[in-house]
């Protein structure tokens, strides 16, 4: 009897994770979804056959749980990441130390392939704590698991994203659309393409040990993206530039709010372009055609239009 392939996906219940889990299940893997809250990952189970998708508890801060999650796995994917630090979760602990634990345990357990999700701008010397922790993580992963495939996506978009949806909601309730660092360039990449890149990183022999930067087919300024969102939500809102000094004061306060809508470190990241470096291997090198923003984003921003995007019902003419 053939032994079934096993894949472990850390952070598999998140935005990118659900797309990765679905693809791995379709490839016939038994998928261990390694997360801190297995109950919250139960929605993934219908993506596979009975017993094929298995949520299990694992914290990247606890080596024993990481070991249990990767033991006897054929392939491992690390999608764990945070955008803001909290009392119980720092960039260093989650991004750097967590990634290192996954890579070390994957190597110790004889895992065949490892894909690590990083980010464009990852650099140990970055002035952003986020970017620095991601850069240190890449070095730690490469040292522990030299054949790991590292993927650096730009801004990731899709129906569940926290970027286009967030500003779509803002367009509905705010009289103006605030703009911070409006000239910063971004290269949004579709979440489905990122998930396909993960699969390619696990299956293509040429991808082992390589680093890829993932961006969509077009580069936009932050201001252009906000204008696009206003157009798609059919909201006539002026774009209001926020001086950096004012933004810093806002971030100093907002970082203490429960959902941390803006932090000082995010302001640092916003001041740097988030685009694929010239000549860097990317989606095309993995055999993937990049999906345009214009093809996907309007389909889920329509709900922020007046009337929820529904066309008004035109009554039928009365019979004479």
Any domain includes 216: no
3 state SS of 55? strand
For 250-278, b/e burial (b = at least 16 CB within 10 A) is: bbeebbeeeebebbebbbbbbebbbbbee
Q: Is the pLDDT of residue 137 over 90?
A: yes
Any domain includes 121: yes
Q: pLDDT at position 243, please? A: 95
Domain span at residue 133 reads: 6-147
CATH number for 23: 3.40.50.720
Q: Is the pLDDT of residue 106 over 60?
A: yes
Q: pLDDT at position 317, please? A: 57
Cα 144 vs. chain centroid, distance in angstroms?
23
Any domain includes 88: yes
- Condensed to tens digits (0 to 9), the pLDDT of residues 92-102 reads 999 999 999 99
3 state SS of 300? helix
What separation in angstroms does the CA of 30 have from each of 153, 180, 193?
Answer: 26, 44, 22
Any domain includes 295: no
Q: What is the DSSP string of 30-53?
A: EEEEEES-GGGGGGGGGGSSTTTE
- Condensed to tens digits (0 to 9), the pLDDT of residues 57-83 reads 999 999 999 999 999 999 999 999 999
Choose the weakest-confidence range: 76-90, 116-130, 172-186, 220-234. 76-90
Any domain includes 136: yes
pTM of the predicted protein model: 0.94
* The three-state (H, E, C) secondary structure of 164-206, written as one string: HHHHHHHHHHCCCEEECCCCCEECCEEHHHHHHHHHHHHHCHH
Any domain includes 153: no
Based on the structure, what is the number of domains in the chain? 1
Q: pLDDT at position 1, please? A: 37
Closest to 227 in 3D by CA, of 217, 213, 238: 238
Proportion of the chain above pLDDT 90, given as a percent: 91
Q: pLDDT at position 311, please? A: 59
Any domain includes 47: yes
Kindly state the tokens that stand for 261.
């809508």
Arithmetic mean of pLDDT, 300-314: 80
């Amino acid at each position: 009897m053939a032994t079934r392939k096993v894949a472990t996906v850390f952070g598999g219940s998140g935005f990118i994770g659900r797309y990765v889990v679905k693809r791995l299940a379709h490839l016939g893997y038994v998928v261990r979804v390694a997360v801190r809250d297995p109950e919250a990952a139960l929605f993934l189970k219908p993506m596979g056959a009975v017993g094929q998708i298995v949520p299990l508890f694992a914290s990247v801060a606890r080596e024993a749980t990481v070991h249990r999650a990767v033991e006897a796995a054929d392939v491992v994917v690390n999608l764990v990441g945070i955008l803001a630090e909290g009392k119980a979760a720092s960039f260093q602990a989650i991004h750097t130390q967590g990634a290192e634990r996954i890579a070390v345990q994957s190597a110790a357990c004889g895992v065949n392939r490892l894909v690590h999700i990083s980010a464009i701008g990852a650099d140990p010397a970055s002035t952003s704590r986020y970017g620095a922790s991601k850069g240190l993580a890449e070095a730690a992963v490469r040292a522990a698991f030299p054949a790991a495939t590292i993927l650096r996506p730009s801004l990731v978009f899709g129906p569940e994203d926290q970027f286009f949806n967030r500003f779509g909601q803002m367009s509905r309730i705010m009289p103006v659309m605030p703009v911070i660092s409006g000239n910063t360039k971004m290269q949004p990449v579709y979440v489905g393409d990122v998930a396909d890149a993960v699969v390619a990183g696990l299956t293509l022999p040429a991808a082992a040990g390589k680093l890829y930067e993932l961006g969509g087919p077009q580069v936009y300024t932050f201001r252009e993206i906000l204008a696009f969102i206003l157009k798609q939500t059919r909201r006539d809102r002026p774009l209001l530039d926020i001086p950096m000094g004012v933004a810093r004061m806002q971030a100093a306060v907002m970082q203490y709010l429960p959902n941390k809508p803006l932090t000082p470190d995010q302001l640092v990241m916003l001041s740097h372009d988030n685009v694929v470096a010239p000549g860097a291997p990317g989606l095309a090198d993995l055999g993937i055609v990049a999906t345009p923003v214009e093809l996907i984003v309007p389909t889920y921003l329509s709900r922020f239009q007046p009337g929820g995007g529904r066309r008004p019902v035109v009554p039928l003419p009365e019979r004479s």
